[in-house]
Structure 1
């Protein structure tokens, strides 16, 4: 009987201890969960709702890093508002309503300097080999005289000239000092007629000069700057969204704008100081980035080369022929 009583007492003791043991087990499990949650890094993306084992797409939930002070964009310039201007693949210069020079250009030394000349308003062109690479600028002086700013086989700037309408060319590097041009190897610098100057932006892609002291620069973020002292100082930036090319005119500067949401081709905006004209009517043309060049002749004729279209205007771009 004593053994039986001891056995029952032992059973009751086990039953009495069971809830306590269960409570300890639950408490331990809760503790493990809380520790695991505490160890999850702040900002770890949740995978709630995802199929088991489904991977996250690279970068899908990765927050972008905040820019440092050195990475912040320059004041008043928003790339989203302005767009991007690519380095042009064409050069165009006009003497008058009938005579103009043009050339494709590109990376030195891969693209040869092969200017073309028209004397019939663009109805026909004749090509010449100038013996250099990648034309940077064309400056016609008369029917027969023109200067090319191009590059040597080593990609250094060089000046080539002809007095016989392209039939023969010679090196005239002394002319480099007297002409404006960009430096592909150093887009933050510009050669003015006063010498090498700092561009008003990190990457200048188009240049239009009026004379030895006045010029305009179009930068790759579609900002437009003007200088009246050969690049010693520059104006405040003007954003021209969709800008593709610039040329000096008798009244100021003209900018060719390619904006497919407004025009299936090109229209012009005239800039004179801080004044900006309304866009001209659309010149319909199929173009790709870098395929637009604009030039103004001394008689006021505007020439534009956009895709396969070459057109002229004698009323500021209101009409084209």
Structure 2
């Protein structure tokens, strides 16, 4: 038996009109919800940077992070291409480019395979603008002295291999590091320490001495004494280990097309020159000195030299 055709009946027409009306109400409701969501998205509060950092020394117990106001400072250019290199006690390598406050962003990286590969661990959530110092700590930990976006100094430490960086303002107050207020001084707990030139580079502060390069000449300062030049020229990077100083320099006569590496002992005696294969004398460089090895970062190359 054939079905009745109800499409032309009054009931069918009424149902059609009711269906269209219901559909229109649904469309209006969905449109209103979308507009409300869009307005709420536009007025959402942007996330703020977390608290700020402080300084510490190898082997110290981990302090509690606290918030405290940092001193104000004006922008100072170390040089965006300045490099830093360090190693934690378990062998993790850390490196950084300085960047510049109100300029080029710094980059901080970690390597777990002796420099073969690197992971970017720059603490961008902290709003850093410039790196002023980098140190390896115990285990696989590290610390940075940085300038924040407003060019004020802070010290950051990581206990998570660079995943998170925490601020320690109390430790910053006990640290010695290149000042943000002037390029020619170090900030220290006892006040400002004058550096021996107007454009210092590769400033390294150790437990026994401080070293810096001025127009290619390395200078060292033991304790609270005066800076004195070392008998080397064309230096591009250095590091201190106790009373000894490792100096990477350009010496075309001894190492054509590569950096040379020399050690200067406490008496000022210079060791025999060693050529660092694979390095570029024209590229920015950094040196990290240890009892069991010296690591040189030049251009894209990281070289380990053992005694």
- In which range does the TM-score fall when normalised by the shorter chain? 0.5 to 0.7
Q: State the partner residue of 1:181.
A: 177
Counterparts of 2:158 and 2:234, CA distance in 1: 36
The 1:288/1:268 distance shift into structure 2, 3 A limit, reads: closer
Contact 2:88/2:141 (<8 A) preserved: no
Counterparts of 2:178 and 2:101, CA distance in 1: 13
Spell out the pairing of 1:1-321 with structure 2 (5 A cutoff): 88-96=81-89, 98-131=91-124, 132-183=128-179, 186-192=182-188, 194-211=190-207, 214-219=209-214, 221-229=215-223, 232-250=224-242, 252-263=244-255, 264-285=257-278, 287=280, 289=282, 291-297=284-290, 299-315=291-307
Q: TM-score, normalised by structure 1?
A: 0.63
Shift in Å at residue 87 of structure 1? 7.6
Counterparts of 1:175 and 1:187, CA distance in 2: 22
Task: Deviation per CA, 1:27-76: give whole Å up to 9, x if none.
Answer: xxxxxxxxxxxxxxxxxxxxxxxxxxxxxxxxxxxxxxxxxxxxxxxxxx
Task: Deviation per CA, 1:91-136: give whole Å up to 9, x if none.
Answer: 1112258321001223223233431111221122111131312211
Counterparts of 2:189 and 2:248, CA distance in 1: 25
- Which stretches of structure 1, 4 residues or more, deviate above 6 A after TM superposition? none
Contact 1:188/1:199 (<8 A) preserved: yes
Task: Deviation per CA, 1:215-234: give whole Å up to 9, x if none.
Answer: 22222x223322222xx431
The 1:97/1:266 distance shift into structure 2, 3 A limit, reads: farther
**SS across alignment from 1:129:** coil
Shift in Å at residue 183 of structure 1? 2.8
Contact 2:261/2:276 (<8 A) preserved: no
Contact 1:96/1:301 (<8 A) preserved: no
Contact 2:100/2:106 (<8 A) preserved: no
Contact 1:97/1:301 (<8 A) preserved: no
Shift in Å at residue 290 of structure 1? 5.6
Counterparts of 2:168 and 2:277, CA distance in 1: 40
**SS across alignment from 1:175:** helix
Q: TM-score, normalised by structure 2?
A: 0.66
Counterparts of 2:293 and 2:174, CA distance in 1: 25
**SS across alignment from 2:107:** coil
Give the total of aligned pairs.
Answer: 226
Task: Deviation per CA, 1:185-234: give whole Å up to 9, x if none.
Answer: 512211245432111233321222221x5222222x223322222xx431
Structure 2 portions without partners, runs of 5+: 1-78
Counterparts of 1:303 and 1:226, CA distance in 2: 20
Task: Deviation per CA, 1:224-262: give whole Å up to 9, x if none.
Answer: 322222xx4314323421100110124511111123343
Task: Deviation per CA, 1:254-309: give whole Å up to 9, x if none.
Answer: 11112334321111111123423244331233536561100023x43211001121
**SS across alignment from 2:170:** helix
Counterparts of 1:158 and 1:143, CA distance in 2: 22
**Structure exhibiting the larger radius of gyration computed from Cα positions:** 1
